[in-house]
Amino acid sequence: MTTDTLHKEGKTQKVIAKEADCSQSSVSKHINREAKGRKRCGRKNVQAIGIIAPWRELKQNPFKNMEEIHKEWTPAGVSASRTTTHRRLQDMGFSCRIPCVKTLLNNRQRQKRLAWTKDKKDWTAAEWSKVMFSDESKFCISFGNQGPRVWRKRGEAQNPRCLRSSVKFPQSVMVWGAMSSAGVAPLCFLRSKVNAAVYQDVFEHFMLPAADQLYGDSDFIFQQDLAPAHSAKATSTWFKDHGIPVLNWPANSPDLNPIENLWCIVKRKM
């Protein structure tokens, strides 16, 4: 859909400019030029024509590549090069970036996250300071594609000093840790599969001593995710026997746990 089509439909210049994502003055000049029968010399002004269909399609599906986007310009009435297409997208405010990765959530999990947020939105800083956030994280020698960049000259791509080594099965270790506003707990290196028994052993030797050091005789709330070892009946019984309240936590919500930022800092420093 072009500016001419929108004008024939009786749209105002302001509406056309908004739909075409261009200035109102460009729309006015284009309409006046067509009304007087004058043709524009030189290359077509893509900004004045305004490509509505590809723009709407890109808003609905932002994962299209440049080749797919470029092919959609011809049905819209514009013949432009790939460079012009790319420049036009930049003018519209689009930039091609590596997408951020986030845990997939179903509708039920989204509703539980929303309910959890509404329930906790009135918590004060003093209430959050009582929470001890915990989590396990795997530390590997190789971090996949998240390695440092290399400065090299042309032809040095295969130079041994410019290569980063990788292995299929890198050595790794699972680490348990906890943090709160009062400080951090000592790290626990887990050398076996984490089940309910191993998890309770971590509580006895690491979590309880850290809680005594950080909180003393004051009350605290323990936070954990919904991993099988965490949500086991034996684990719930252990918390009840020791009188430790556990913070209600929505499923698949690592982004709500501030300890994830701490793990990221540690791994980046490593």
Q: Let me know: does 263 contact 135? Beta carbons within 8 Å.
A: yes
**pLDDT at position 247, please?**
96
Q: 9-18, 57-66, 109-118 — which is least confidently predicted?
A: 57-66
Give CATH 3.30.420.10 domain extents, the chain: 124-269
Q: How far, in Å, CA of 204 to CA of 160, rounded?
A: 48
- Residue 189: which of 210, 204, 164, 206 has the closest Cα? 206
CB 191 within 8 A of CB 148: no
CB 257 within 8 A of CB 224: no
Residue written as token pair 């540690």: 266
Query: pTM of the full predicted structure?
Result: 0.64
In this prediction, residue 184 carries a pLDDT of 95
Give the model's pLDDT for residue 90: 78
Beta strands 183-184 and 172-180 are: antiparallel
Strand 221-223 to 188-190 pairing: unpaired
Share of the chain above pLDDT 90, in %: 43
Q: Would you say residue 38 has pLDDT above 60?
A: no
pLDDT at 48: 42
Q: Tell me the CA distances in angstroms from 49 to 78, 94, 101, 208, one per residue in order.
A: 8, 18, 36, 68
pLDDT in tens, 25-36: 877 877 777 666
What pLDDT digit, counting tens, does each position of 72-131 carry?
766 666 666 777 777 777 777 778 777 877 888 899 999 999 999 999 999 999 999 999
Look at strands 221-223 and 131-140 and give their pairing.
parallel
R_g of the chain, CA atoms, integer Å: 29
In one letter, which amino acid is 164? R
pLDDT of 29 reads: 78
CATH classification for the domain delimited by 124-269, as one of 3.90.660.10, 3.30.420.10, 3.30.470.30, 1.10.357.10: 3.30.420.10
Contacts of 175 (CB under 8 A, 6+ apart): 136, 137, 138, 139, 187, 188, 189, 190
Return the residue matching tokens 């791509």: 157
State how beta strands 131-140 and 172-180 pair: antiparallel
Please write the tens of the pLDDT for every residue from 165-217.
777 777 889 999 999 999 999 999 999 899 999 999 999 999 999 999 999 99
Write the CB contacts of 60 (distance below 8 Å, at least 6 apart in sequence).
Answer: none
Q: Taking residues 9-32, report their average pLDDT.
A: 78
